Amino acid sequence: MQADPSGRRLDEVHGRLVTCPVDELHPHPSYLRHHLTVPASKLSALAERGDLAFQEPLIITRERTILDGYARLELARLQGRLTLPCIEYELTEVDALRWLLQRHRRSAGLNDFIRILLALELEPLLKEMAHSNQRAGGQNKGSSKLTEAERLDVRSEIAAAAGVSVGNVSKVRQLITSAHSEVLQALRGGEIRIHRAWLWRNQSPAKQIEALRLYRSKKGVNKTIRNLILRHKPKSLPIVSDLANLVRLFCALNSGEFGPVSVMVVKARGKAIYVTEELAHALGSRKELGFPCATKSH
């Protein structure tokens, strides 16, 4: 657990239980600056819990800034609730941002890209602290520049606040200025990982959009194939021990009559080859290979 600038450990700050009017609660300024919103799927899942959704108090500051509980606040507003139980802490805006980052590292919280964006807002304070340490140590007096070691320390502090690697912090810095807005939006939504977007950063805007489109298309096709496999896969798959015979059957296909055959890698466990019913018929030796007859799901 990190400490705030005054030296207090954030888990040592004591809160008090209060009941707050919903219209007094508001998001952290950084949350607003980055246009963060609660996903509709999260709101729906929370609504299904009924009154139990509001059993856990929101975490707020004395200024009524929300640290944890954005989905509950949004649902309360939609349902016309007037008050919500909250645990109130006395924190500065910077300390509040640290808490927000810490409490949203859970699997259902903010993704790595968003947490890094928020953590980068701590940079001015961290740089000032580094300058203060520099002056206190009598090094580079009057200098406005940090040493490489001090710059690395600032990046490490940002990475620690976001709960990510220093490398990802550097990649996000570059993406902010080089990635197309649609790629940045995909990163916010968790569609793509930081490293994948970073690999696209030096491409032209048009090529970045094309790369994103192809990635989405491939991901959608793979998802469709996996769903079809789950629908049609029997409890026990037939085992084809003679792979040479399988290759022989494929080679015997008359490509001129049958046309092209699509080949795609699917993320699935085990070593298996899946074929469509049409291709199985074209092979003409289903019994020999032990292919099961496909059945339609209703």
| DSSP assignments along 251-270, one per residue | HTS-HHHH----------SS
pLDDT for 106 equals 63
Whether 226 has a pLDDT exceeding 60, the answer reads yes
pLDDT band at 124 (very low <50, low <70, confident <90, very high): confident
Which carries the bigger pLDDT value, residue 33 or residue 260?
Answer: 33
Tell which residue, 77, 49, 173, 210, has the closest CA to residue 27.
77
- Number of C-beta neighbours around residue 197 at 10 A: 26
If residue 44 lies in a helix (H) or strand (E), which one and from where to where?
helix 40-47
Tell which residue, 40, 46, 86, 44, has the closest CA to residue 63.
86
User: Count of residues for the chain?
Assistant: 298
Lowest mean pLDDT among 28-42, 111-125, 146-160: 146-160
Indicate the DSSP class of residue 108.
T
pLDDT for 86 equals 96
Question: Which span out of 88-102, 116-130, 194-208, 282-296 was modeled with the highest average pLDDT?
Answer: 194-208
- Cβ burial of 102 (10 Å; 0-12, 13-18, 19+) is buried
User: Which residues lie below 8 Å from residue 164, measured CB to CB, with a gap of 6+?
Assistant: 112, 115, 116
Q: What is the pLDDT of residues 232-275, one digit of tens each?
A: 555 555 555 567 777 776 776 665 555 666 676 666 666 677 77
Whether 83 has a pLDDT exceeding 50, the answer reads yes
Average pLDDT over residues 59-73: 92
pTM of the predicted structure, to 2 decimals: 0.63
Average pLDDT over residues 92-121: 84
**Pairwise CA distance, residues 139 & 49, whole Å:** 58
Indicate the DSSP class of residue 34.
T
Q: How far is CA 222 from CA 219, 230, 263, in A?
A: 5, 12, 11
pLDDT band at 166 (very low <50, low <70, confident <90, very high): very high
pLDDT band at 54 (very low <50, low <70, confident <90, very high): very high
Average pLDDT, the chain: 79
pLDDT for 270 equals 63
Whether 297 has a pLDDT exceeding 50, the answer reads no
DSSP β-ladder status, 15-21 and 58-61 = unpaired
- Cβ burial of 224 (10 Å; 0-12, 13-18, 19+) is exposed
Q: Which residues pair with 87 in a beta bridge?
A: 17, 59
Contact between 163 and 115 (Cβ < 8 Å):
yes
pLDDT for 5 equals 44
If residue 162 lies in a helix (H) or strand (E), which one and from where to where?
helix 148-162
Whether 37 has a pLDDT exceeding 80, the answer reads yes
pLDDT for 98 equals 85
